[in-house]
Structure 1
């Protein structure tokens, strides 16, 4: 696959949600918490959407289109599992792992763009003042549908992540803001 493609997807996927995700990911503690929750079966994309919506003062329902869930399962998670299956200690595999890491990031970027489209096209509904309460509530809505996903281990992580989200700029003010086409 050529690296210099005439079509730049980065410009298309540069949304307020993506910028929020990048800003949050710069915080080591937030990144670590998201990855720990991911190991417990949580979707980082759903966590990021929930956090971003909270920064907008909007409630996150956790509802997603089936097409977004399929993309996550069939593309993003498949690339991640393949990358993780390659041993870190085998230097021969390092270039392949790095390529898969780049592919995983691109899949996540596309996933966040598709999530943003859904959030952008959703009626704003009631808004509230951004803060820890709405952020924690939104993060709980991002929990996987399995029993026990919110437990004694994940609950403190949710509270800490909510505090960290509160320190991040929200990206732009509203999910319905247009992103030049």
Structure 2
């Protein structure tokens, strides 16, 4: 399924407290799309390796820096002014839609790279989230812990969902 990571990300992000956790991690320099992919890989039981982390970072970093971040920066720059300008508010919403589309494209690229990686028979390893942080964490932050716990719950709910009928 080509949209598996996107569906997982939407369901995870909609869980209580996850938007705030992701925004906190983003403020700390993390690439949230990479973390969402890492959470998906952890819940699927895909083994984490330095080579795989580097592959995902090589996909995510240029796209994030050249596409997602400029859209986000522009949208954020217009925040205060848009409160007083209805036309700018509409343009800001258009930028937000483009930013979301760019994030979806990034998640699709990450999915295309990682979907074929085999599942690890020992699904207890949860190394992806900490490996994808911009700097090694001395401890697991509450935001990262919340993301990890909610990711497991999200995957379980998706696994229990009835299949879509054709």
TM category, shorter = 0.7 to 0.9
Structure 2 counterpart of 1:24, from 6, 12, 17:
12
2:5 and 2:107 in contact (8 A); partners too: yes
Deviation at 1:169, TM superposition (A): 2.4
Choose between structure 1 and 2: higher helix proportion.
2
How many residue pairs match? The answer is: 151
The answer to which structure, 1 or 2, has the higher relative contact order (CA under 8 A, 6+ apart) is 2
1:139 and 1:158 in contact (8 A); partners too: yes
Name the SS of the counterpart of 1:129 in structure 2: coil
Sort the Cα spacing of 1:126 and 1:14 in 2 relative to 1 into closer, same or farther, 3 A. Answer: closer
1:5-39 CA deviation, whole Å, 9 max, x = no partner?
xxxxxxxx951101100110111311210111001
TM-score (norm 2): 0.79
TM-score (norm 1): 0.73
Structure 1 counterpart of 2:75, from 66, 83, 95:
83
Aligned residue number for residue 150 of structure 1: 137
Deviation at 1:157, TM superposition (A): 1.9
* Structure 2 Cα separation of the partners of residues 31 and 98 of structure 1: 18
Sort the Cα spacing of 1:169 and 1:125 in 2 relative to 1 into closer, same or farther, 3 A. Answer: closer
1:59 and 1:127 in contact (8 A); partners too: no
Aligned residue number for residue 8 of structure 1: none
**Can you give the 5+ residue segments of structure 2 that lack an aligned partner in the other structure?**
160-166
Aligned residue number for residue 49 of structure 1: 37
CA RMSD of aligned residues (A): 2.3
Aligned residue number for residue 163 of structure 1: 149
Name the SS of the counterpart of 1:126 in structure 2: coil
